[in-house]
């Protein structure tokens, strides 16, 4: 009998040990920097950070919605921060003596171009106080890129870098007059690509992302009387509605391409007590499906999806009452794997997509919270989230041109190129330059022969599906 009990006890110990080992370790939040305001509510570095990216130089750059150094009418900042937390203020959006924000007011996005400059938008400011597109160097040299008097809407929203090196974005609109989708070149030339029909396409875009086919995919914001759409926008400006959603189901995030090559986004529901869901779709709009999220309660929803090296989606979960905003890890079939709660001291209300850094950690910003000395108030943090994820492998997608001679330049498009250590053409090492997270420029090396291109970073090596032809 004692031997039987001993065997059972041993089995239970082994069972629970294996079970515990199968569980992911609890993510650790590190507060890299807190945006502090003094007793006079002066916030020299900005407040309410709302965007973050990892640059080709390995550092992070972002925007804060309000505050900054200078006069009391500071309208937001652009900043730099290292992975270790060293902070540098690059630029403050200030009002002039007449209270006009000619250089913009309320920055709300940032993206790195192929030329090494950062590009962003402001919701307000400019010649008509309807926002603008700006360009800034990594040392803080600033200029207005485009202050178009007619964006066919107001307040340009987040930008995305296209495969053609141009910037694409959208504008706000109303239920009567929809916003627009536009293109701006790195030199500042503006082109209106599509004016949204508010009643059938949605009044404004929630954002767009570049997919591996070279096109942009986005969603629009709907409502009770307004439809929501999943759409495709080509670099030439062709707009196609892929899926139309009716209230009380509507999109809550821009779509992202997961590692399985499908588009994923968030769906919220406010009717018939139906469950909040993910959606998944092919690039053509076919195979559209709802993936219920039973772990979320009625009215909760997810936004800011980030595919990570674990093959899952890291998202921001917003509670229906807005009192809880957490980072959650979801599998592609909708299973809740991990929840990361911000308690205020380490930040409060994550307000942008987390970025998986080249070391595997996740980096992001919160609107509020943080830890500051007595007498100051905290209005947001930059954080690092260690979830024991592997460093991401490069996502090698396409290259252009597909053929060329030794010594010619080839542009390679993909993702997770920050930290790239090697590029080769059919096994022959090539000189290269990382332009940003999604683009690198390589030179066809001496001795190269026709075959695949491979890219190596700390996460591993990825080989292209197609071959580069050496002429």
C-beta separation of 48 from 388 below 8 A: no
**Can you tell me the distance from the alpha carbon of 348 to that of 369, in angstroms, rounded to the nearest whole number?**
5
DSSP category for residue 287: T
pLDDT score of 274 more than 50: yes
Between 452 and 23, where is the model more confident?
Answer: 452
Q: Which of 240-244, 314-318, 365-369, 371-375 has the lowest mean pLDDT?
A: 371-375
Per the listing, tokens 């917003």 go with 318
- Domains for the chain: give ranges and CATH numbers: 28-386 (2.130.10.10), 395-470 (2.60.40.10)
pLDDT digits (tens, 9 = 90+) for 192-232: 999 999 888 998 999 999 999 999 999 998 766 778 899 99
Query: Residue 12's pLDDT band (boundaries 50, 70, 90)?
Result: very low
Burial (CB count within 10 angstroms: exposed 0-12, middle 13-18, buried 19+), residue 409: middle
How far CA 392 is from CA of 62, 108, 432, in Å, comes to 21, 27, 19
pLDDT digits (tens, 9 = 90+) for 31-57: 999 999 998 888 999 999 999 999 999
Mind giving me the DSSP string for 44-62? TT-EEEEEEEE-TTS-EEE
Average pLDDT over residues 388-401: 91
The proportion of the chain whose per-residue pLDDT surpasses 70, expressed as a percent, equals: 91
pLDDT score of 306 more than 50: yes
C-beta separation of 291 from 277 below 8 A: yes
Q: Which of 85-89, 382-386, 462-466 has the lowest mean pLDDT?
A: 462-466
SS3 19: helix
C-beta separation of 250 from 221 below 8 A: yes
Mean pLDDT of the chain: 89
Q: Which of 144-153, 227-236, 377-386 has the lowest mean pLDDT?
A: 144-153
Question: Please, what is the end-to-end C-alpha distance for the chain in angstroms?
Answer: 79
Q: In the beta sheet, which residues pair with residue 80?
A: 61, 88
Number of H helices, E strands in the chain: 2, 40
Q: Is the dihedral of CA 445, 449, 453, 454 positive or negative?
A: negative
Q: Is the dihedral of CA 243, 247, 252, 258 positive or negative?
A: negative
Alpha-carbon Rg for the chain in angstroms: 23
Question: Which of 137-151, 243-257, 447-461 is predicted most confidently?
Answer: 447-461
Q: In the beta sheet, which residues pair with residue 404?
A: 470
How far CA 56 is from CA of 117, 230, 243, 310, 430, in Å, comes to 11, 31, 35, 23, 18
C-beta separation of 183 from 154 below 8 A: no
pLDDT score of 360 more than 90: yes
């Amino acid at each position: 009998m004692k031997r039987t009990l001993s065997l059972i006890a041993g089995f239970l110990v082994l069972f629970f040990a294996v079970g515990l080992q199968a569980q992911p370790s609890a993510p650790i939040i590190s507060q890299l920097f807190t945006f502090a305001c003094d007793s006079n509510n002066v916030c020299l570095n900005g407040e309410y950070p709302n965007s973050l990216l990892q640059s080709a130089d390995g550092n992070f750059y972002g925007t804060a919605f309000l505050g900054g150094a200078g006069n009391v009418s500071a309208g937001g900042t652009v900043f730099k921060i290292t992975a270790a937390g060293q902070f540098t203020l690059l630029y403050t959006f200030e009002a002039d003596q007449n209270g006009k924000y000619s250089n913009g007011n309320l920055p709300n996005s940032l993206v790195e171009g192929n030329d090494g400059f950062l590009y962003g938008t402001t919701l307000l400011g400019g010649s008509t106080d309807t926002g603008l597109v700006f360009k800034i160097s990594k040392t803080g040299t600033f200029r207005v890129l485009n202050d178009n008097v007619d964006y066919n809407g107001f307040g340009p929203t987040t930008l995305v870098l296209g495969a053609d090196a141009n910037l694409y974005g959208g504008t706000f609109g109303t239920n009567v007059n929809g916003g627009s989708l536009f293109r701006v070149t790195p030199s500042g030339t503006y082109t209106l690509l599509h004016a949204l029909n508010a009643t059938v396409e949605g009044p404004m875009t929630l954002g767009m992302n570049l997919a591996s086919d070279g096109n942009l995919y986005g969603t629009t914001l709907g409502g009770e009387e307004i439809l929501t759409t999943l759409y495709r926008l080509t670099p030439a400006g062709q707009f196609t509605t892929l899926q139309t959603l009716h209230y009380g189901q509507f999109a809550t995030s821009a779509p992202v391409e997961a590692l399985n090559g499908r588009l994923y986004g968030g769906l919220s529901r406010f009717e018939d007590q139906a469950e909040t869901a993910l959606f998944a779709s092919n690039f053509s709009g076919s195979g559209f499906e709802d993936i219920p999220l039973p772990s979320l309660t009625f009215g909760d929803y997810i936004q800011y999806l980030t595919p990570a090296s674990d093959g899952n989606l890291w998202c921001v979960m917003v509670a229906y009452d807005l009192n809880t905003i957490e980072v959650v890890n979801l599998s592609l079939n909708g299973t809740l794997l991990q929840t990361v709660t911000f308690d205020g001291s380490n930040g409060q209300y994550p307000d942008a997509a987390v970025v998986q850094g080249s070391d595997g950690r996740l980096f992001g910003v919160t609107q509020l919270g943080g830890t500051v000395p007595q007498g100051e108030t905290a209005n947001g943090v930059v954080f690092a989230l260690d979830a024991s994820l592997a460093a991401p492998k490069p996502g090698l997608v396409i290259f252009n041109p597909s053929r060329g001679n030794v010594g010619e330049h080839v542009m390679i498009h993909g993702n997770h190129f920050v930290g790239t250590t090697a590029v080769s053409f059919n096994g022959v090492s090539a000189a290269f330059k990382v332009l940003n997270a999604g683009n690198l420029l390589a030179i066809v090396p001496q001795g190269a022969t026709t075959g695949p291109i491979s890219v190596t970073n700390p996460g591993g090596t990825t080989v292209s599906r197609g071959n580069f032809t050496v002429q």
